[in-house]
Amino acid sequence: MATKTSYRIVVGGELSERYARAFDGMEMEARSGQTILTGEVVDDAQLYGILERLSALGLRLVSVESLPGER
C-alpha cells in the first residue's frame, strides 16, 4: 500500500498559471524569482514523474523537501 507524502519542490523562475496543469494536484506559488510546488505525492514513481516533467520543461530544480504531516 502506498503512503502519501507531502512535498515542497522549488524551481528557479516564476512560472505562470498556465504551468499549473502540468503539475495537477500541486499548489503553485511564484515569488522572489522562484516557484514553489506543494502537495501530496502518492509514491516514488509520481515524484520522479514530477521531477522529469520539470526537467523536460527546462526548469532548474532548486530543492525537494518532504514535509512532516499526518499519515
- List the chain pLDDT tens, one digit each, 71 residues: 567 899 999 999 998 888 888 887 899 999 999 999 999 999 999 999 999 999 998 999 999 999 987 54
What's the confidence (pLDDT) of residue 2? 61
Give the integer Cα–Cα distance in Å for 64 and 26. 14
Q: What is the pTM of this model?
A: 0.87
Give the integer Cα–Cα distance in Å for 5 and 20. 20
Is the separation of the CB atoms in 70 and 22 below 8 Å? no
CATH of range 5-67; options 3.30.70.1560, 3.40.50.1110, 3.30.365.10, 3.40.50.720: 3.30.70.1560
Q: How far is CA 15 from CA 9, 28, 31, 42, 43, in A?
A: 13, 9, 9, 24, 25
